[in-house]
Amino acid sequence: MTTTLITGASSGLGAEMARQFAALGHDLALCARRVERLEELRAEIAAAHPDVRVEVRALDVTDDDRVFEVVRGFRDDFGGLDRVVVNAGLGKGAPIGTGCYDVNRETAMTNVVAALCQAEAAMEVFRDQGAGHLVLVSSMSALRGMPKSMTVYAASKAALSHLGEGLRSELLHSPIDVTVLHCGYIASEMNEQVAQQVRFMASTEDGVRAMVEAIEKRRPEACVPTLPWSVLAPVMRHAPLGLLRRLV
């Protein structure tokens, strides 16, 4: 039985990952700020998959001490953790220099510093166990610098992707795997206000299905959903900025 911990599991991609991993028979450690949402999700999963164990804890990922406390607590609950999915993040942002530093700082702190803390807590467990699987939920925007309200978000996800690659280089051929998911447009609570204005938007279920498939295969990195993002990835990496702006 695989035990999977998911941060930011109360809604969107995190909640749907929990549902799909439960359908595969995984025990689940779920954490987020909104505990009432987690309890509702636990009841839903228990009704559909009564053999799956689900434990929940409140977690604000920007509280460093609480991150370590929660990850260690889940480890003790289950007697170990097989996988930690660093999913919690923010998509807020504004053009730099327009008086919205507080918004951009919050996104950077959540997507970089808080993600680092989650990775530290997970890797502490995995190094002690001698095995594990760290999954970092990044973005296709990490492949290039993005304009306007996307600038800080893309930069934060680029940092996360490089964090994953650095760890993967260190842990190559070890029993600890690292997966970085470069997610394209997947419908979620975070982006519902722009869902109708964006090309290539996948449904939550289909997008997460692609994420779960890549995670289960322990792929080092993946563009998800595969189409069109695996095709667009080299274009995004190398296209002139003018063309890139028209694509995204």
Residue of 21, 78, 153, 185 marked active site = 153
Backbone angles phi, psi at 38, to 5 degrees: -65, -40
Backbone angles phi, psi at 172, to 5 degrees: -50, 130
Using a 10 angstrom Cβ sphere, with 0-12 exposed, 13-18 middle and 19 or more buried, the burial of residue 22 is buried
Give the β-pairing of 132-139 and 27-32. unpaired
Q: Which residue has the tokens 């919050």?
A: 106
CA dihedral (75, 171, 141, 144) in degrees, to 10, reads 160
CA distance from start to end of the chain = 40
What sections of the chain are H helices per DSSP? 12-23, 35-48, 64-78, 101-108, 115-129, 151-171, 204-216, 226-238, 241-247
State the Cα–Cα distance between residues 239 and 245, nearest whole angstrom. Answer: 9
Q: Examine the residue annotation and report whether 153 is marked as an active-site residue of this protein.
A: yes
State the Cα–Cα distance between residues 186 and 188, nearest whole angstrom. Answer: 6
Q: Which residues are catalytic?
A: 153
